[in-house]
Amino acid sequence: MTAVLLEGLGAVGIRAARQLVDTPGVASLLISARSAARAAEVAASLGAGAEAVELAPDDPLPAGIDAVAAALPTTLAPARAERALAAGVPFASTVDAADAIDALLELDQRAHAAGLLIAPGCGLAPGLADVLARHAADALDAVDEIHVARAGSAGPASTAALRRALRDPVLEWCDGDWREERHPNRELVWFPDPIGARECAPVTVGAALLARAFPGARRVTMRLAEPLARRLTWSGRRGLDEGWGSTRVEVWGWRGRTRESMVYGVIDRTAIAAGTVLALTTARLAGAAPALAARSGPAAGVHGLAALVEPVPFLAELARRGVKAAAFEGVAVA
């Protein structure tokens, strides 16, 4: 009987809750949120498989939990990961800020010692983009470059993290080392319709997870589209990008003696895609979905989804739940 604790009931958390309840291997879902009343209301709406719990940040985890899914603001995630680690429970988080991902990566040795898996970046990008990068890499003999771009955010906390990422210094993985991009150039990136062409700026977010998963890659870049809200709505109002989101993953590599590129993309409601990715990853960490686990993946440590899940069954299960990836066929844009 697999039990999962979900922390956070924002735009992503509430979608993850529904997806977890609908996952056959998950028998029990405990829900913890800042508002106990909200947690109780959501648990009641999900049926008998869900139950609200009151859990203060310093409280120990309830007994019998097989994995924790955290859909929390980035500042809260590292402490919750520490708590899960102390309790010996695997941890998955949607955290998508570079400093928070770095904080989780610092737990790598302790996670190895405890024999636990911790998965930061279980959203659209980082997250689903990493799975698409692995899917592309599996079709190539060697991976050379990985370029990921994302448009859209899931809720106000995600939009704030996106804006912060666009302001922060930019580090890119280049020839086996991190290099600061002193004059970051914006580029037009073609996402699947209806998002289409968007101007994207380089960021650091998520590149560390990809560089770890693809040690042979010579270059790894991440780009984010500036939220439309900044230009088109009053400051502080909910952004237009908080609805639809997209990610585009371009992988260059070698097949035999030919250099080839593969381009994958996804378009969906950002919160729905991120919530579904978080739910499936948590089910995989809890042992409720063993078919999703990467065949030669790590047994412990802190890893992105490119290392943790088998892309084909993961993408097939996402498609079954309505989050469908697409391949670009034609002339790839370098």
Query: Rule CB under 8 A: which residues touch other proteins?
Result: 185-190, 192-193, 197, 199, 264-265, 312-313, 315-316, 319, 324-333
User: In the complex with other proteins, which residue's Cβ is closer, 58 or 329?
Assistant: 329
User: In the complex with other proteins, which residue's Cβ is closer, 113 or 232?
Assistant: 232
The two tokens of residue 46 are 């999900």
User: In the complex with other proteins, which residue's Cβ is closer, 57 or 290?
Assistant: 290
Are 152 and 240 in contact by the 8 Å Cβ rule? The answer is no
Q: Which of 92, 86, 96 is nearest to 119 (CA)?
A: 92
Are 216 and 148 in contact by the 8 Å Cβ rule? The answer is no
Residue 147 C-beta: closest distance to other proteins, Å:
11
C-alpha separations of 323 from 125, 222, 317 in Å: 14, 22, 9
C-alpha separations of 306 from 48, 77, 80, 165, 296 in Å: 34, 20, 23, 21, 11
Residue 184 C-beta: closest distance to other proteins, Å:
9
User: In the complex with other proteins, which residue's Cβ is closer, 120 or 202?
Assistant: 202
Residue 276 C-beta: closest distance to other proteins, Å:
15
Are 130 and 305 in contact by the 8 Å Cβ rule? The answer is yes
The two tokens of residue 329 are 């066929």
Q: Which amino acid is at 8?
A: G
User: In the complex with other proteins, which residue's Cβ is closer, 144 or 187?
Assistant: 187
Are 326 and 194 in contact by the 8 Å Cβ rule? The answer is no
Are 188 and 197 in contact by the 8 Å Cβ rule? The answer is yes
Q: Which of 71, 135, 150 is nearest to 316 (CA)?
A: 135
With left for phi above 0 and alpha for psi between -120 and 50, is residue 176 left, alpha or beta? left
Residue 167 C-beta: closest distance to other proteins, Å:
16
User: In the complex with other proteins, which residue's Cβ is closer, 27 or 333?
Assistant: 333
| Distance in angstroms (rounded) separating the CA atoms of residues 294 and 144 | 21
Residue 267 C-beta: closest distance to other proteins, Å:
9
| Distance in angstroms (rounded) separating the CA atoms of residues 53 and 7 | 10
User: In the complex with other proteins, which residue's Cβ is closer, 240 or 316?
Assistant: 316
Q: Checking DSSP bridges between strand 244-255 and strand 258-269, what pairing results, if any?
A: antiparallel
User: In the complex with other proteins, which residue's Cβ is closer, 66 or 250?
Assistant: 250
Q: Compute φ and ψ for 235, nearest 5 degrees.
A: -60, 140
